Structure 1
């Protein structure tokens, strides 16, 4: 394909198998093919489909971040402003970002709230690069600006994300409230009882482990309850899915996980105090007590990590970062 395109004009490539191959490469995220073909003939960058839609715009519709990053960096280096034009229906790049992602792209994301977050990340990213005059452009098909179109297309996803977050927050609030109750009672029911107003095991190190673990579990579970209540009482505006709600969910799940761990530590230290001479029975009980933690890690910890990475990780857009050197020299681009 590269050999075939060498020396061809833009008019000769437009509407040919070259156009078909390029748009297929964009659709499937094959940025390496685009690099090689543009190396052979830089004029291929100007190819568009029958609706005057550019490959850059199509990459946003298909949510192919590798191709998007490639075009963005290419346009930034070469200052190719023509890629910010509108198509036949007056759709801008931002209108493409306002459309719902293909199902094949969304199915890899665990829950509706994170899917909504990813959609917002795409929209905000494209919003940063388009000229300001494009923000209020109204397209012909819908008669809407990109922001209005985004709200229309993502209304159901936002509602589904709200339902999923509320369901998670409700169930976690119940668990955290139970831990608060248990640990509050435990701190006043010290193991071994008291003597002359002081705990019987006050001078033992393991008793201090119990006290610290109990207090930490109490405060972290209380924080978890407050955080999940904040999620339940949120406005659930579109932009809340970008940072606010994921941050609350991370804090809530992390503090809940911490309270469960310290609760088991408090329970284990109590057993050591009460059954110090019978370690053969203490160890199996502690292992059984670890089952809730293992269950939580298995069911929720991966979700916590995914939310954290999605919100605070490096992200999928690397066009503004220093990337790999171009596989072609600048004099071949003209």
Structure 2
């Protein structure tokens, strides 16, 4: 097909190849689109004969970022950006503001990450659009930003509900750890010297481990409580889902994980100090102390990794991609 296209004159009347390209974009077949466009770069400017929009409009509508990345290497991209949907008068930025059920963005876990990805799309397309297109209204008298707000209202509400439910549960756990670690700091194993008031085992290495890990658990759980409270009291504006809310949740979950880990270490150190010499009894108990840490990692690690990659990982948009 590439050899045939390379030696043929492609026009807008070439209905078969036009349908093939647009169907491939809908299905996310990047290799086919890439090879066909590389064989004949004139196809970059073909339009859908029914709606008069380009392949990049389709890539945006169906959230195919690899195909959209090809626009960065097109010198005449400002001409393509001015194409509009003849039905609704939507320019390219209007189309990224629409939320449709046919986009593959639904495979992303959680409404918060979906909302974040939608904002990333909007910000990226907005950055390459001329100022005139950013404020231009469609036939329904809506600007791109107004259309984005209207079409993403339900997704934003779902994200707010999910975020509040998650942080409320985590706040309860963090608060319990704060209370426990604070009380443990004043009920130290081995007791205190009646004359000096200092702990009897103050010079013991295990006691130092206990004090340090108890303090770390207290401080990290307090940090997680503050982060979760910051999420609960957030205004939940659209922009908050881009960086602010994911960043707070990442810090809160990591601090909670760290506080649980250090709490188990402090418990094990206190047990060794109290039952020194009875290792046959202590060993199984210390082994069981690792179970909460492992369970937390198994249950929350995927969410934490996905949110970290989505927020701080490499962008899905590759401005260096060329044909």
Does the TM-score normalized on the shorter chain lie above 0.5?
Answer: yes
Q: Is the 8 A contact 1:59 1:67 kept in 2?
A: yes
Ranges of 4+ aligned residues in structure 1 off by more than 6 Å: none
Residue 248, structure 1, aligned to residue 241, structure 2: no
Aligned match of 1:38: 37
Q: Is the 8 A contact 2:89 2:138 kept in 1?
A: yes
| TM-superposition CA deviations, 1:8-33 (whole Å, max 9, x none) | 232342xx110111001211222222
2:103 maps to 1:82: no
Q: Deviations over 1:58-114 (max 9, x none)?
A: 1001000110112x2321xx3343211232132111111101154552332111111
Q: Which residue of 1 aligns with 2:152?
A: 154
| CA contact 1:99–1:149 (8 Å) conserved in 2 | yes
Counterpart Cα distance in 1 of 2:136 and 2:314: 31
**Distance across 1 between alignment mates of 2:247 and 2:100:** 23
Residue 10 of structure 1 contacts residue 46 of structure 1 at CA under 8 Å; is this kept in 2? no
Q: How many residues align?
A: 317
Residues 80 and 230 of structure 1: is their aligned pair in 2 closer, same or farther, counting only changes over 3 Å? closer
Q: Is the 8 A contact 1:101 1:119 kept in 2?
A: no
Q: TM-score, normalised by structure 1?
A: 0.91
Q: What are the equivalent positions in structure 2 for 1:58-77 lying under 5 Å apart?
A: 58-70=58-70, 72-75=71-74
Displacement of 1:4 in angstroms is 3.4
Contact 1:176 1:221 in 2 (8 A): yes
**Residue correspondence of structure 1 range 167-206 to structure 2 within 5 A:** 167-196=165-194, 197-206=197-206
Residue range with higher mean Cα deviation, 4-13 or 306-315: 4-13
Aligned partners of 2:193, 2:19: CA distance in 1, in Å? Answer: 86
Counterpart of 1:109?
108
Aligned equivalent of 1:262? 262
CA distance in structure 1 between the partners assigned to 2:317 and 2:145 by the alignment: 20
Structure 2 unaligned regions, length at least 5: none
- Counterpart in 1 of 2:133? 134
In structure 1, what is the Cα distance between the partners aligned to 2:105 and 2:34? 26
- Measured in 2, the distance between the counterparts of 1:80 and 1:154 equals 27
Contact 2:63 2:105 in 1 (8 A): no
C-alpha distance after superposition, 1:165-212 (max 9, x if no partner): 000110000000000000000000001111232212111111000000
TM-score, structure 2 normalization: 0.94
Q: In 2, are the aligned partners of 1:27 and 1:62 still within 8 Å (CA)?
A: yes
* SS of residue paired to 2:315: coil
* Contact 1:179 1:221 survives alignment (8 Å): yes
SS in 2 for 1:199: coil
Q: 1:331 maps to which residue?
A: none
CA deviations on 1:226-260 (whole Å, 9 max, x unpaired) are 11011000000000000000111011111111110
Question: Partners in 2 of 1:102 and 1:314 — Cα distance?
Answer: 26
Separation of aligned partners in 2, 1:214 and 1:205? 14
Compare 128-137 and 285-294 and name the one that shifted more.
285-294
Equivalent residues in 2 for 1:298-309, closer than 5 Å:
298-309=298-309
After TM superposition, list the pairs within 5 Å mapping 1:223-302 onto structure 2: 223-302=223-302
User: Which runs of 5 or more residues in structure 1 are unaligned?
Assistant: 327-334
8 Å CA contact 2:214–2:263 kept in 1: the answer is yes
Q: Secondary structure at the match of 2:68?
A: helix
CA 1:246 to 1:80, structure 2 compared with 1: closer, same or farther past 3 Å? closer
Match of 1:218 in 2: 218
Contact 2:61/2:103 (CA < 8 Å) preserved in 1?
A: no
Q: Distance in 2 between matches of 1:266 and 1:28?
A: 54
**What SS does structure 1 have at the residue aligned with 2:107?**
coil
Q: In structure 1, what is the Cα distance between the partners aligned to 2:89 and 2:256?
A: 49
